[in-house]
Chains A and B, each alone.
Chain A
Amino acid sequence: MQSILATLLFVAPDWVVSLTRERRPNAFWAEYIVWPVIQIVVVLFIVLTLVAYLVYLERKVSAFMQARLGPMRVGPWGLLQPLADGIKLLLKEDIIPLKADKAVFIIAPIVSVVAALVVLAVIPWGASWATIANVNIGLLFILAVSSVGVLGLVLAGWGSNSKYSLLGALRSSAQMVSYEIGMGLSIIGALMFARTLSMSGIIDAQRVDGMWYFFFQPLGFLVYAVSALGETNRAPFDLPEAESELVAGYHTEYSGFRWALFFMAEYSAMIVTSAVAVTVFLGGWMLPGVTGTSFFGLFGPISNPTLHTFASILVFAGKIMALIYAYMWFRWTWPRYRYDQLMELGWKWMIPAGLANIVLTGIWYVLALPKSAGGVFGFMQEERGRIIPTKYAGIFYFIITGFVVTIPIVWWLLVTINRRSRDFNLHDQRQLQMQLRRERLEKMLQEQPRPAETPSQ
């Protein structure tokens, strides 16, 4: 593991090293200044353009799902619409409400967008040189920094001095704080297999284990997906900006480019949560036969390192885009949850599911350890300092436990917890209430002396 991290830490390509006229082992300027700056500029440019075009994509997808066309007038198929939107937002009057807390009002969108963009630094966009900072606590960093985004929303709600903003901010802070817990818990199962918090390390662990962690941790992925929807304030959990109730939520009073910053933060958060999901559960930039591993030993990954890295970036982007499409798909299909339902889903379903998943995964993991390490089944073996599932038997064991054993057990657990919950089981609850009332009435009738004649009904 140490050796893998060491190779991942120094990633500047040769042409950068020759540019700074340094020698390889201690190329300080190339490794820490020049190459990161190039990477930051490229990543920011691509991500911000992508954010603009995600807005376009969202409008198109929503239009297609509603039998409309979406933007069509600016450029062919409306492709220049993001540009027009950006120019319009830049040219708009910068309005700060008279009674607003000016400093807070100005700082809020900046906090929000910084929290969303800083995280891009540790995301492994591709193999070898395509990561800006390979921090060995990358995942922790992402979870920590992205929760600062809540602060931006709360500040916006408070600083606007408007009831809609404040209500939206209160909702969103409560929602994001509660869904962060579920999000953190859902990842831990996969981390048990990966045994590292480094983003590149997690991807590499999936390569060594020979399986994406989605197949070992289907429940973890499910909990993560739902929590990510809640965390990014997207439908069906878009209560902070519920249009029909709160005008626009925490950014009601914002207009022009400050509003655009909030929008940018929202879509960057979508990209980040998708990237984490791809990294932890969907094998990162790996695709059998193209990047990372060979296709069942038939044809290998691309051998040219430069080509391999570019292909890996494309694979990673493709996976992220698939998840983002799912985000939009959900948004334009499902109706919004009520606020108490949302909280209930977070606290009574997602968090117990995450906890149970951790416990069950731990049990399956310990049972499968090699017999020398105290396991029962011996479905794992030691390889290069890491304990990995044995080929096929171990992998099969973990897939079976994940899909067939863990999910029913957790489902039973959740049903038991939520038996009396009124909101997710409306029909059953009503039947139960009716039955209880009937029993109560019958008991009353039994206690009272029965009248000689029952009135005809």
Chain B
Amino acid sequence: MSAAKTPRAKRTIGQLIKRLLLLDLFKGLMVTFKYNARALYEPRDGGNPNQAIYTEQYPLEPARVSERFRGAPRLNLDPENGSTLCIACDLCALACPVDCIEVGSIRREVREGEKVNKKKVLTTFTFDTSRCMFCNLCVEACPTDCLELTQSFELAVYHRAGFRWDREMLEKGINYVRYAK
């Protein structure tokens, strides 16, 4: 059996030059230099993966959340007359798997044009954010698009009572402390 030498894998001229001039090292250097240069002139847009700087300066600028993010609840108002859209049907409370919603209502006569109808009217609406798991089932149950989970996520409070949001908080939203730059 002849000891035929298997030819060593031959390098092309290009590969040889690449090795001699350490081109891979310089390629790496160019990548970091490009990032450095772009960071100096590009307008900053925190959280945008196409920008050279990804950092969001969160308390100074609003944080980006995903479009389908579910955060703080809100009771929407009728944009025409400012009255609540809630018809006190209690469907959200029934849909809630952790029972964190309590809807309080009374039946009373409501004048609508010329007629006077007896209707269920919303009095209180309590939403316990400490028990809520933001599953969105209540929002899907709502027939009037009144209840909604917004993109706001700053729900931390100093004591447990703060987790119980009443109707006013749900309609107006909570006041956040905004740190100016």
A residues with CB within 8 A of B: 61, 64-69, 72, 329-330, 332-334, 411, 431-432, 435, 438-439, 442-443, 445-446, 450
Contact between A67 and B32 (Cβ–Cβ < 8 Å)? Answer: no
> Is A334 in contact with B1, judged by CB distance below 8 angstroms?
no
| In the bound complex, CA of A445 to CA of B4 (Å) | 13
Of A65, A69, A439, A443, the contact of B36 (CB 8 Å cutoff):
A65
B47 to chain A minimum Cβ distance, whole angstroms, is: 11
Beta-carbon contact of A64 and B40 below 8 Å: yes
4 nearest A-B pairs in the assembled complex, by CB-CB distance: A64-B39, A65-B32, A69-B55, A67-B54
Roughly how many angstroms separate A235 CA and B20 CA in the complex, as a whole number?
22
A-B contact count (CB 8 A): 54
Q: Of A329, A333, A411, A439, which is in contact with the most chain B CB atoms at under 10 Å from its CB? A: A333
Selected from B5, B28, B36, B53, the residue in CB contact (under 8 A) with A435 is: B5
CA distance A129 to B6 in the complex (A): 69
* Inter-chain contact A64/B3, CB cutoff 8 Å: no
**Would you list which residues of chain B between 1 and 41 have a CB under 8 Å from chain A?**
1, 3, 5-6, 8-9, 20, 25, 28-29, 31-33, 35-36, 39-40
**Interchain residue pairs with CB less than 8 A apart (18):** A64-B35, A64-B40, A64-B52, A65-B36, A67-B53, A67-B54, A67-B55, A69-B57, A72-B57, A329-B32, A329-B36, A333-B28, A334-B25, A435-B5, A435-B6, A438-B6, A439-B5, A445-B1
A64 engages B20 (CB within 8 Å):
no
Contacts A64-B52, A69-B57, A329-B36 known; 19 new A-B pairs at CB < 8 A: A64-B39, A64-B53, A67-B55, A68-B55, A329-B33, A332-B32, A333-B31, A333-B32, A334-B25, A431-B9, A432-B8, A435-B6, A435-B8, A438-B6, A439-B5, A442-B1, A445-B1, A446-B3, A450-B1
Asked whether, in the complex, the Cβ of B20 is within 8 Å of the Cβ of A431, the reply is no
Q: Which residues of A contact B28 (CB under 8 A)?
A: 333-334
A68–B53 Cα distance when bound, in Å, is 5
Q: Which residues of A contact B3 (CB under 8 A)?
A: 439, 442-443, 446
Once bound together, how far apart are the Cα atoms of A442 and B5, in whole Å? 10
Which residue numbers of B lie inside 8 Å of A, CB to CB?
Answer: 1, 3, 5-6, 8-9, 20, 25, 28-29, 31-33, 35-36, 39-40, 44, 52-55, 57
Name which of B5, B8, B39 has the most chain A CB atoms within 10 A of its CB. B39
Residue of A whose beta carbon sits closest to that of B3: A442
Distance in Å: Cβ of B143 to nearest Cβ of chain A: 46
Are the CB atoms of A64 and B8 closer together than 8 Å? no
Tell me the bound Cα distance from A57 to B64 in angstroms.
28
Give the secondary structure class of A's interface.
Answer: helix
Bound CA span A64–B9, Å: 41
Q: Which residues of the partner chain A approach B29 to less than 8 Å between Cβ atoms?
A: 329-330, 333
- Which residues of chain B have C-beta atoms less than 8 A from A61's C-beta? 36
Q: How far is the CA of A333 from the CA of B31 in the complex (A)?
A: 8
B28 smallest CB distance to A (angstroms): 5
A432 and B7 CA atoms in complex are apart in Å by 11
Which residue among A67, A68, A439 has the maximum number of chain B CB atoms within 10 Å of its CB?
Answer: A67
B52 touches which of A67, A445, A450 (Cβ 8 Å): A67
Q: Which residues of B contact A450 (CB under 8 A)?
A: 1
B123 CB, nearest partner CB in chain A, Å: 47
B30 smallest CB distance to A (angstroms):
9
**Chain B residues with CB below 8 A from A329, complex form:** 29, 32-33, 36
- The residue that A446 contacts in the complex, of B1, B25, B31, B55, with Cβ under 8 A, is B1
How far apart sit A334 and B24, CA to CA, in the bound complex (Å)?
Answer: 11
Contacts of A334 in B (CB 8 A): 25, 28
- Min distance, Cβ A133 to any Cβ of chain B, angstroms: 37
In chain A, what residue has the closest Cβ to B51?
A67
Whole-angstrom CA separation of A435 from B5 in the bound complex? 8
Report whether B55 and A64 are in contact in the complex, using a CB–CB cutoff of 8 Å: no
User: How many Å from the CB of B51 to the closest CB on chain A?
Assistant: 8
Choose from B8, B35, B57 the contact partner of A65 (Cβ within 8 Å). B35
CB nearest neighbor in A for B26: A333
Chain B nearest CB, measured from A456 CB (Å):
17
Tell me, rounded to whole Å, the shortest Cβ–Cβ distance linking A430 to chain B.
10
B53: chain A residues at CB < 8 Å are 64, 67-69
B-chain residues with CB within 8 Å of residue A431 when the two chains form the complex: 8-9
**Chain B contacts of A67 at CB under 8 A?**
35, 39, 52-55
State A411–B21 Cα separation when bound (angstroms).
10
Taking the closest CB of chain A, its distance from the CB of B96, in whole angstroms, is: 41
